[in-house]
Each structure stands twice: as C-alpha cells, then as structure tokens.
Amino acid sequence: MTVVDIQLSPANTDWATLRAATIESERRGFGAVFVFDHLAGQPLGGVTMIDCFTLLGALAEVTGRVELGTMVANVWNRQIGTLVSAAASVAVLSGRQFHLGIGAGASPTSTWAQEQHAVGATVEDSLDARHARVSAVIDLAAREWAADRDESLATFPRPTPPPTLIVGVNSERLSRIAGRSADGINVPWRHPRRDAFLVAADECAGERRFLRTAYTVYDPALLDPEHPERRAMTERRIDRLVLAVFDPLDDWLAGSN
C-alpha cells in the first residue's frame, strides 16, 4: 500500500502556520512531512524562506509520530559533511524515521540557480560534477551511519534507524546512480519519462529493498486509493506519494482533507 505524505513550502508561510499544518498532518494520518530546501523564497514564487533542517528540528519538537524529511536537499547548499550531519541531527532529535531526499542542484543558467548566484554560492556547470556530488553524499552517509564505522567518525551523530537516502531525479543517468547506491528514488509523477526513470533505477538496484517514491501537487482526490492515478501508482509499485501543498496553507488547514 502506498504511504501518502505531505510537502510544505515555507516560501509564503510563517512559522506558526507551518507548525499548525505539521501537527494537522500528523492528526490526519499522513506518513511524513517533507519540506523544501531553498535559500530564498524566490524560486518558489515566495517572499521568505526558513532553512530546511532548522525547520525540521523545530517540527520534530511539536510532533510525535509523523516522519520528517527533505524533498529535496540541494547537495550544493552545504558542504557534504554538514549536510549529512544536519540530517542525522534531526533524526536523533525526532527519534523516528527521517528521510533525506537529495538533489544534484541546478545548472548555472537555470532560474533555480538564482538564489545561489545572489549569495555567491557554488553553481556547478558540469553535470558530471553535480552527479558526483550526489554520489559523494551517499557514500559519506553510508560510512558515517554504519554500525562498524571508522574510528575517525566515532563521535559524529548516528541515528537509529539511519535516515533513508532518496535521490530526486530528472534523468535516467541520475536514476541509475540512485539505484546503485541510494535507498530510493523520487520521481515527478507527471514527468513524461517517469517510467523510464523507475526502470533505470530498478535495473541497478537489483534484488535489494529499494524505495520508489513520487511527488505531485496536492489534490484531495489523490487521497482516494481507488483514484485512477493512485491505481497507476500501485501498478508501478510506488511506496510513497508526496503531495506538495503550494496553495496557502491556511486554506489547506481549513479544508476537510
């Protein structure tokens, strides 16, 4: 059965509303609450932003069951050691499953890179380098969270259970990287090559347990497991469906679904 999650955007929403929406998500029985990772609100058409790990740490304190995660953390927004430790820290504080969704970051010419340009952050032109950075995060997380980790890593945060590492993809190449070394993949459900991404990841994952997750914009109709799109997800063995709430959260909170 597909677990249904909620994704919240801090771009147009204050802390009090984000807090209330997360508590409500837990009350309504959603599996996890995911948040975006951006430096500013502009890429999402918003006016503000809260750092994703700071936000998730605060949300961990006001909830008790709902799982938490990033969808997705840009691997260029932080040094990779900082990224891995930040995810582990939220997992330790929450005492429940954490999902570290990561993405390769945008090209320098993409509108998604404007926030990095504004603060002089690294925006890598090479697709090879962006993909290598994803692999480096996965490798470091595996080493840092391993039960038999090296003595040099002995005092880094190590949550139990370890966070799941999910790669957000928009290409078959990145899907194969996810399939080889991550715990799962996240695909845009309405992407025309969605099925190709899933197949590419599966071919590399082999027989091991591998999470297949998808995201799309929130629609209360998608809460019905008999909805045609939900049936299509079941056919494709989608484990988790992440519904992104872009409309004002006040409206979502006031609704019945």
Per residue in 105-126, pLDDT tens? 999 999 999 999 999 998 999 9
Strands 3-8 and 184-188: unpaired
Helix, strand, coil tally for the chain in percent (to 5): 45, 20, 40
Q: What is the pLDDT of residue 213?
A: 98
The overall average pLDDT reported for the chain is 96
Interval 45-73 mean pLDDT:
97
Counting residues of the chain whose pLDDT is more than 90, the rounded percentage is: 94
Contact 38, 118 (CB under 8 A): no
pLDDT tens, residue by residue, 192-228? 999 999 999 999 999 999 999 999 999 999 999 999 9
Q: What is the pLDDT of residue 253?
A: 85
pLDDT tens, residue by residue, 149-189? 999 999 999 999 999 999 999 999 999 999 999 999 999 99
Q: What is the pLDDT of residue 256?
A: 54
- Domains recognised in the chain with CATH numbers: 3-254 (3.20.20.30)
Q: What is the pLDDT of residue 255?
A: 75
Helix (H, G, I), strand (E, B) or coil at 186: strand
Under the banding of pLDDT at 50, 70 and 90, the label for residue 251 is: confident
Interval 63-91 mean pLDDT:
98
Which region, left, alpha or beta, applies to residue 45 given φ > 0 means left and ψ of -120 to 50 means alpha? left
Interval 229-243 mean pLDDT:
98
pLDDT tens, residue by residue, 81-99? 999 999 999 999 999 999 9
pLDDT of 257 over the 70 cut = no
Under the banding of pLDDT at 50, 70 and 90, the label for residue 246 is: confident
Return the closest-CA partner of residue 241 out of 3, 7, 35. 3
CA angle 51-187-249, nearest 5°? 45
